[in-house]
Structure 1
Amino acid sequence: MKFITNVTAQAHDEFVKQSPLNHLLQSSTWAKVKDNWSSKIVGVTNDDDELIASSLVLIKTLPLGFTMYYAPRGPIMDYHNQDLVGFFFKEFKKFAKKDHALFIKIDPAILVESSEPVISNLKQVGADWLGLTKNMSDTIQPRFNAVIYKEDFSEDNLSKKTRQFLNKAKRSEPIVEIGSISLIPEFCELMRKTEIRKDISLRNAEYYQKLLEQYPQDAFITLTRINLGKLLSNYQADLMKISNDIDKITNNKKLKAVNLEIENIQKNISELSTIIKEHGEVVPASCELCINSGGAAETLYGGTDITFQKYYPSYLTWYETINTAFNKGARTVNMGGVENSLSKDDGLLRFKKHFNPQIEEYIGEFNIPVNGLLYKLSNLAYNRRKHKK
């Protein structure tokens, strides 16, 4: 075996896409997104010069000239091969030491259920396992993810309740657009409203544009607008029809039901008229940004204007995003992380479960000390820096 410090982007990407550990964050292009870090691609070849391990490595400068190495959702290799794991990290640590790295952080997307020999092999190379952490914020990448598999997904397989929500959304005069950079202004508008509602800080327009530009064939935005003007016209037409027919009704029970229906329609007309005055006739209501990487799609950012939540736009946006990703060649769609507790009170988890994902638990993070003397101090400094973000 031979350790390679200059694996080409093409060779790396081809290797990653063939691996069951394939992930967007290990694509070579991810380094261009995270351009505030330096980066390298390292790997191992066998005696036939075939790549058998590879990793995109992001490099963060630390105080006093030291560095931290991070392989997001990597490295990519057969972690059950003890000889390969041992050789890779032995040589990787030598390489990182020349760059004054204090430690190497890794978090491969390996399921807990098959992790015992992997953890053992990594510990044999000196890895410090952070364990099965309890909170999502304890790790850079979430340990629990909601992943939809193509073979499990169809509208017919969704629950009756979810199909009802989708049908309500479809009857609310939605305009669904799958697009790219031209949708960023409306996308950002929805993201800002989501940030305010959840009291969080996400990304800016420049970052979203960078994602779309760096993955021009694989990244897309799903934007759902609602044509409130048309919806208002529909209600007005319904009211006129019912009003014209009401004199023909002689049954008191039926008349009472029709009068109640008229009241509901009038209420909807009044609400819509007020909303249109404030927001206009066609409004952005929900959005998602998704990237397909070698068959493994990731939904990275999404937002909703809850002013229009009674029309269920989020359900339609997610449904169209998932279908679009599968049509673009994805075999899985990761809806993103969920809280480690898997609490029934977690509204985000309840929402994601509408689309029949598998909740996958990964083994989490490992730190491989490079400078053993300074590792504990450097890890403490790193954790402080992480929690300040």
Structure 2
Amino acid sequence: MYFLTLTEEEFDGFIKRNFSHYTQSKNHYAYRNKFKKDVHIVGVKNEQNEVIAATLLTEARSMKFFKYFYTHRGPVLDFNNEELVSFFFKNLTKYLKKQRCLYVLVDPYIVINKYEADGNKINEYEHQKLIEMLEEQGYKHQGYSVGYQPMSQIRWLSVLDLKDKSEQTLLKELNYQTRRNIKKTDEMGVQVNTLKIEETDRFFNLFKMAEEKHGFSFRGIDYFKEMQAIYHDNSVLKVATINLTNYLNQLKNQQTSLSDEMSCIEKNLQENPNSKKQKTLMQNVKQRYDSTAKRIDKVKNLISTDGEVIDLAAALYIYNDYEMYYLSSGSNPKYNEFMGAYKLQWEMIKFSKERGIDRYNFYGVTGDFNDTAEDYGVQQFKKGFNAEVEEYIGDFIKPIKKNWFAVNNILQKIKER
């Protein structure tokens, strides 16, 4: 075996053959190499000159004179091969020393536990051996965090398995309310469209509403434009909309149909005025007629105040050969009744199936399964799609320049006071 810097083509070929996170991609490398010059791709080849391990790393300035490196859910290799793991990390240290690295953060894309959406553990995967191997190499595990960590990738992900499941099977496995909501979006004529990068502001307006609702601040609009530029053909910005005029016409047709039905029932009652069946039927149809009339008035008012076509929800998706990632989203709470978020997810699940992608990754949850969790509502939404929760192994940090790393930690603590 030998450790080396890989070419884009070598890296891309290996990644396409081995399950990996979307950040481990040729697109990511090409963009950062062109515009930021802060990216590296290294790996290991065997005696047959075949790539058997690889990772994309990025660097950032630390303490003016040094650099911090991050492996972006890498490296990608067989973590059951102890010889390979040991060889890779020993040689990675040698490489990083030459790059004036202060420390490196590694967070392998490895599941350690799998749970049902309500927190019941389904599977537990052995991972202590890997922790021991990395600790032997000087890496310290940062613990099993719960919640969102500002300096780390989320450790808990909500994932729907699409493999070997038809669209009909997936729909059947949704919970009743989720399936019903999706059906309603079809009845109301909710549509999902693709936004161009020049239309990112339509997504961002909805995203800002989500920030305000949940009380967080994430990124500016330039970040989302950059993500589309980085992953271009493997990213898509989607928006759920409703044409209220079309919906209004549909409601009017429905109202006419109900009116005709009431006329028919009235005729039957004239012939048989004591029919309980016809009286009950009239009551039910009248309730539906009145409800539709109220909907018509409401939609008319919405058209007059908000316009004919309304953006309901939008999301940024990034995907590779293995997963569809529901990365960031937002919706307008004023229009929750149109359930744009449900339509958005279902259409993208179908989009994934069409492309042979086996995993639909709803992305981060806190890992707190209590009904008091800050993301409890989000968890319930994802649970409705039959998603399970995967817990990942988390972060490892290795100081490359130990003395300076200790100084850096002291300085950070002083800043935080």
TM-score (normalised: structure 1):
0.90
* Pair 1:318 & 2:345 matched: yes
Deviates more, 1:206-215 or 1:353-362: 206-215
Alignment partner, residue 73 of structure 2: 73
Alignment partner, residue 119 of structure 2: none
Report the Cα distance in structure 1 between the residues aligned to 2:343 and 2:291, rounded to whole angstroms.
24
Alignment partner, residue 390 of structure 2: 360
Q: 1:203 to 1:37 in 2, by over 3 A?
A: farther
Structure 1 residue 106, shift from structure 2 partner: 0.6
Secondary structure of the 2:329 match is strand
State the percentage of identical aligned residues: 25
Q: 1:244 to 1:333 in 2, by over 3 A?
A: closer
CA-based RMSD of the aligned residues comes to 2.6
Structure 1 residue 31, shift from structure 2 partner: 4.0
Structure 1 residue 244, shift from structure 2 partner: 5.5
* Pair 1:89 & 2:89 matched: yes
Report the Cα distance in structure 1 between the residues aligned to 2:105 and 2:414, rounded to whole angstroms.
15
Alignment partner, residue 222 of structure 1: 238
8 Å Cα contact 2:147/2:365 also seen in 1: no
**Cα deviation code 1:177-220 (max 9, x no counterpart):** 24543542322222222222223233344333333333333222
Amino acid at match of 1:23: H
Q: 1:383 to 1:351 in 2, by over 3 A?
A: farther
Amino acid at match of 2:349: I
Amino acid at match of 1:361: E
Q: 1:383 to 1:84 in 2, by over 3 A?
A: farther
Whichever of the two has the greater Rg, that structure is: 2
Structure 1 residue 381, shift from structure 2 partner: 5.5
Structure 1 residue 86, shift from structure 2 partner: 2.1
Partner residue of 1:168 out of 163, 184, 187: 184
**Cα deviation code 1:76-130 (max 9, x no counterpart):** 1222222222222222222212222111101011111231221111111011101
Structure 1 residue 333, shift from structure 2 partner: 1.9
Taking the TM superposition and a 5 Å limit, the aligned residue runs for 1:320-339 are 320-339=347-366
* Pair 1:25 & 2:37 matched: no
Partner residue of 2:295 out of 262, 268, 290: 268
Alignment partner, residue 132 of structure 2: 120
Q: 1:330 to 1:244 in 2, by over 3 A?
A: closer
Alignment partner, residue 402 of structure 2: 372
8 Å Cα contact 1:79/1:121 also seen in 2: no
Amino acid at match of 2:252: Q
Report the Cα distance in structure 2 between the residues aligned to 1:380 and 1:369, rounded to whole angstroms.
14
Structure 1 residue 258, shift from structure 2 partner: 3.8
Q: 1:381 to 1:72 in 2, by over 3 A?
A: farther
Q: 1:133 to 1:322 in 2, by over 3 A?
A: same
8 Å Cα contact 1:180/1:212 also seen in 2: no
8 Å Cα contact 2:154/2:365 also seen in 1: yes
Taking the TM superposition and a 5 Å limit, the aligned residue runs for 1:1-389 are 1-4=1-4, 6-20=5-19, 22-31=20-29, 38-112=38-112, 113-137=125-149, 140-151=152-163, 152=165, 154-181=170-197, 183-243=199-259, 246=262, 249=266, 250=269, 251-345=278-372, 346-379=376-409
Report the Cα distance in structure 2 between the residues aligned to 1:26 and 1:308, rounded to whole angstroms.
37
Deviates more, 1:253-262 or 1:360-369: 253-262
8 Å Cα contact 2:261/2:285 also seen in 1: no
Secondary structure of the 2:349 match is helix
8 Å Cα contact 1:222/1:320 also seen in 2: no
Report the Cα distance in structure 2 between the residues aligned to 1:282 and 1:380, rounded to whole angstroms.
55
Report the Cα distance in structure 2 between the residues aligned to 1:274 and 1:96, rounded to whole angstroms.
63
Secondary structure of the 1:121 match is helix
Secondary structure of the 1:318 match is helix
Structure 1 residue 299, shift from structure 2 partner: 1.7
**Cα deviation code 1:286-328 (max 9, x no counterpart):** 2222122132222211221122211221111001112112322
Aligned length: 385
